[in-house]
């Protein structure tokens, strides 16, 4: 501090000069029109240039904050596009008829997510336990089958597709012979029906229907047409190759089938 004071005192001439010169420049700029105009012009030219340079150099200091702002804005904008809305309107098909009591209801749903194509295809629909979607309910689409509900959350449900190696669906011909529909994991357009007795006459292009024995799908929904039959020697059964009516991989909509009698039928199954 003492040294600093000595430096200031030793160069007191310089400091006096600088202070008084600054006072003079101030007086010149504030009391003379020509110089004031030149000063304003110079300041606007060089001032904006320096500000621009400075801002360019210091722009990176602000990037984190700018990013945060942009992220929030993006989130707000994305939340407003139609696809991000959850459709809350309920489209349930239900018919009031005094002669036929309603057994199955259909709940319209959209497919919101699909697994990449593989041997174990699943998909997600936008209807869940809030609308009585339950594990084990079937999903039909485009005049064919889509799959079976496996997991349920309040607003969404996971569907095990027909094209899943673990799928087992009861299916049969219109002459009441039936077997088990499964997929061999190879061709997404064809499924196989096993355990069909080999004495049942089957012709190509026969229609395969659901049997309704598993309480998953209603009775008599068409699934596909028979392409070929292959009797398995020694087992008394034959395998049918069935061409599906729909393409489960490209389904965008599905109707969740709800069996209103399921509880009653389940009670029967538990009695021995």
Partner 1 sequence: MTLAAFFSNFLRFVLLLLAQVFVLNQIAWGWGGRAYLFVFGYPLFVALLPLRTPRPLVIGLSFLLGLSIDFFSETLGLHAGALTATAYARPLILRSLRPRDGYNIKARPSIADLGTGWMAQYLTLLLLVHLLVFFLLQTFSILFAGEIAIKTALSLPASLLTTGIFVLLFSSKT
Pick from 6, 7, 8, 14: which binds partner 1 (CB under 8 A)?
14
Cβ at position 59, least distance to partner 1 in Å? 31
Strands 222-232 and 178-182 turn out to be unpaired
Farthest CA pair distance, the chain? 122
> Which of 6, 7, 8, 20 contacts partner 1 by CB under 8 A?
20
If one counts every other C-beta atom within 10 angstroms of the C-beta of residue 230, the result is 11
Of 28, 93, 260, 265, the residue at the interface with partner 1 (CB under 8 A) is: 28
Among 6, 7, 8, 25, binds partner 1 (CB under 8 A): 25
10-18, 156-164, 228-236, 260-268 -> range binding partner 1 (CB under 8 A): 10-18
Burial class (CB in 10 A: 0-12, 13-18, 19+), 79: exposed
Closest distance of CB 54 from partner 1, Å? 23
The count of chain residues that interact with partner 1, using the rule CB under 8 A, is: 23
Q: 34 or 205: whose CB is closer to partner 1?
A: 34
Name 218's Cβ contacts closer than 8 Å, sequence gap at least 6.
103, 104, 210, 212, 257
- Candidates 7, 8, 42, 187; binder of partner 1 (CB under 8 A) is 42
Distance CA 161, CA 125 (A): 12
Q: Does 40 bind partner 1 (CB under 8 A)?
A: no
- C-beta closer to partner 1: residue 25 or 265: 25
Q: Can you tell me the distance from the alpha carbon of 152 to that of 126, in angstroms, rounded to the nearest whole number?
A: 10
DSSP string of 164-230?
ETT--EEEE-TTS-EEEEE--SS-TTEEEEEEEETTS---TTPEEEE--TTSSS-TT-EEEEEEEEE
CA atoms of 143 and 48, how far apart (whole Å)? 70
Q: Rounded to the nearest whole angstrom, what is the least distance from the CB of residue 39 to partner 1 in the complex?
A: 7
**For residues 138-167, which are near partner 1 according to CB under 8 A?**
none
Question: Applying CB under 8 A, which of residues 1, 2, 34, 82 lies at the interface with partner 1?
Answer: 34
What are the Cα distances from residue 269, in Å, to 135, 176, 212, 215? 17, 22, 15, 12
Q: Which stretch binds partner 1 (CB under 8 A): 11-19, 73-81, 168-176, 211-219?
A: 11-19
Give the DSSP H or E segment for 82: none
> How many helices (H) and strands (E) in the chain?
5, 13
Among 6, 7, 8, 27, binds partner 1 (CB under 8 A): 27
44 lies in the site for partner 1, by CB under 8 A: no
Closer residue to partner 1, CB minimum distance, 14 or 90: 14
Q: Rounded to the nearest whole angstrom, what is the least distance from the CB of residue 44 to partner 1 in the complex? A: 14
Q: Tell me if 54 contacts partner 1 by CB under 8 A.
A: no
Is residue 250 involved in binding partner 1 (CB under 8 A)? no
Question: Binder to partner 1 among 6, 8, 16, 91 (CB under 8 A)?
Answer: 16
What phi and psi values does residue 145 have, to the nearest 5 degrees?
-95, 150
The CA–CA distances, whole Å, from 12 to 5, 18, 19, 26 equal: 10, 10, 10, 21
The residues binding partner 1 (CB under 8 A) are 12-17, 20-21, 23-32, 34-35, 38-39, 42
């Amino acid at each position: 501090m003492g040294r600093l004071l000595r430096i200031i005192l030793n160069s007191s001439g310089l400091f006096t000069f600088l202070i008084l010169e600054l006072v003079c420049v101030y007086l010149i700029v504030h009391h003379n029109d020509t110089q004031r105009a030149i000063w304003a012009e110079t300041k606007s030219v060089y001032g904006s240039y320096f500000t621009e340079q400075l801002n360019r150099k210091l722009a990176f200091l602000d990037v984190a904050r700018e990013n945060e702002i942009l992220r929030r804005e993006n989130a707000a904008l994305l939340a407003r596009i139609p696809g991000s809305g959850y459709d809350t309107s309920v489209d349930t098909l239900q018919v009031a008829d005094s002669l036929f009591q309603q057994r199955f209801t259909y709940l319209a749903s959209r497919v919101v997510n699909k697994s990449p194509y593989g041997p174990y295809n699943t998909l997600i629909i936008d209807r869940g336990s809030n609308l009585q979607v339950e594990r084990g309910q079937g999903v039909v689409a485009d005049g064919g089958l889509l799959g079976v509900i496996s997991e349920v959350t309040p607003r969404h449900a996971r569907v095990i597709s027909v094209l899943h190696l673990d799928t087992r669906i009861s299916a049969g011909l219109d002459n009441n012979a039936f077997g088990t529909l499964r997929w061999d994991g190879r061709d997404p357009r064809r499924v196989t029906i096993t355990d069909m007795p080999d004495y049942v006459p089957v012709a190509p292009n026969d229609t395969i229907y659901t049997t309704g024995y598993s309480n998953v799908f209603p009775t008599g929904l068409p699934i596909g047409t028979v392409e070929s039959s292959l009797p398995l020697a020694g087992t008394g059964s034959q395998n049918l190759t069935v061409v599906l009516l729909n393409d489960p991989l490209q389904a965008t909509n599905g109707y969740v089938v709800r069996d209103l009698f399921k509880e009653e039928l389940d009670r029967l199954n538990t009695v021995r």
